[in-house]
Amino acid sequence: MSFNIVVPDLGESVVEATVVRWLKKEGDPVSVGEPVMVLETEKVDLEVGAEKDGVLASIVQQDGADVKVGDVLGVIDEAANGKAAPTQVSAEKPAAQPVPTTPQAAPAPTPSTGESEAEPSKQATPVAQRVASDKNVDLTQVEPSKPGGRITKNDVERYVEAQQTPASTAPAKPAPSPAPAMQASTAAAPKPMPALVNGRGEERIKLSRRRRTIAQRLVEAQHSAAMLTTFNEIDMTGVMELRERRKEVFKERYGVSLGLSSFFVKAVIGALKYQPRLNAEIQGDEMILKHYYDIGIAVGAEDGLVVPVLRDADRMSFAEIEKAIKDYAKQATDGTLPIEALRGGTFTITNGGVFGSMMSTPILNPPQVGILGLHKIEQRPVVINGEIVIRQMMYVAVSYDHRIVDGREAVQFLVRIKELVEDPERLLIEG
């Protein structure tokens, strides 16, 4: 009996995906729950597992194919189960699989081949697997940048660059020795990629589904909302001193570092209670005010920004916020971020300061009507009580939908955040 592998429910408002890579080949045995392929959605990469024991009888959608929820990806043959599975498949298709014709020799290469292929797949992120496949890179030759971590896209690209240099400086060496032919072809594969256009090199790369969705959403946000941005600056000296005094005790007690995110999450909640329209959304000719606080935290991933959500953040402690953000960041890096973590959200915080940004205008994350942008903290001279002093200052920006949020409300919202962050004791009371 055969069983279809179909595109599962991809979550809220997500109906399409792209086949990144099959982890199994036709004829490979599969077990219940074992990942057989990877799908890329506009939010996360998903591993699709087998729901039955058997053999992958056929692959319907090849790598790079765009699919929708419910589409058939492949077929599992349930009858071919357990150790006899490869024999049954080879019996049905003797011409296509000449290797199993010697029954004693067939089992030996099967496990060794499976291990060598499955191991790098588990150690590499889905994006890294796709890049490695495009550039014909053997993942077993790539070392992760973090010891014990997963191989990322950057690791693969660094490996390709490293292979290009020796290939160009010593082209004559690989030729006389037939043994390293596979290594030579792997190293030489990236060389023909840049095409010459008017004497200049260009490389054509298909946008990933997530990057396409990000581009579409950003353009839609600018076209569908009356987006404006207002700025202010915050004296971070008090928070920085508090973190310095409490960081060791905090980490010892809660097992996580005390960062800046928790302060701003609490401050945003306090400001949203003061200006509730920034925690709303527009549906038709109605404005929906939300009396709960699901705060999205923008996290950089390999293939674009993702925004996991802190549910009911007003009920979370500083430690719970820091732990949740740390977990989300790790999951985004590993490519294991669940779709549930990306659903909804009433307001978003993005921090360009971690990349060195001094000032920027964040773009709305529809259907939300407000987003706070944080920036780099730098020592600057400021005037306090008639004296020039050096303080640790940060520029902040709030972008808002002018259709329901007026400039006065946006300015007051940002002023409230400034007041709360500059006075951490007040933040504990009002946040």
SS3 letters across 391-416: EEEEEEEEEEECCCCCHHHHHHHHHH
CA pair distance 162, 62, nearest whole angstrom: 30
Residue 3: CA atoms inside 13 Å, Cβ hemisphere, count? 17
In whole angstroms, what separates CA 429 from the centre of its chain?
34
The one catalytic residue among 314, 334, 406, 423: 406
CA pair distance 312, 320, nearest whole angstrom: 11
Contact 278, 415 (CB under 8 A): no
**In the annotation, is 291 catalytic?**
no
> Strand order of the sheet with strand 45-49?
45-49, 35-40, 16-22, 66-68
If we measure between CA atoms, which residue out of 205, 203, 159 comes closest to residue 183? 159
Strand 35-40 versus strand 2-6 pairing type: unpaired
Contact 151, 142 (CB under 8 A): yes
Tokens, residue 413: 């919202």
Angle, vertex CA 48, rays to CA 43 and CA 50, nearest 5: 165
Strand 387-401 versus strand 227-235 pairing type: antiparallel
If we measure between CA atoms, which residue out of 269, 426, 257, 253 comes closest to residue 347? 269
CA pair distance 297, 261, nearest whole angstrom: 9
3-class DSSP state for residue 284? coil
3-class DSSP state for residue 111? helix
Total length of the chain: 431
CA pair distance 279, 401, nearest whole angstrom: 11
H or E element that contains 46? strand 45-49
The one catalytic residue among 9, 66, 312, 402: 402
Contact 414, 230 (CB under 8 A): yes
**In the annotation, is 77 catalytic?**
no
CA pair distance 422, 424, nearest whole angstrom: 6
Residues with a catalytic annotation lie at 402, 406
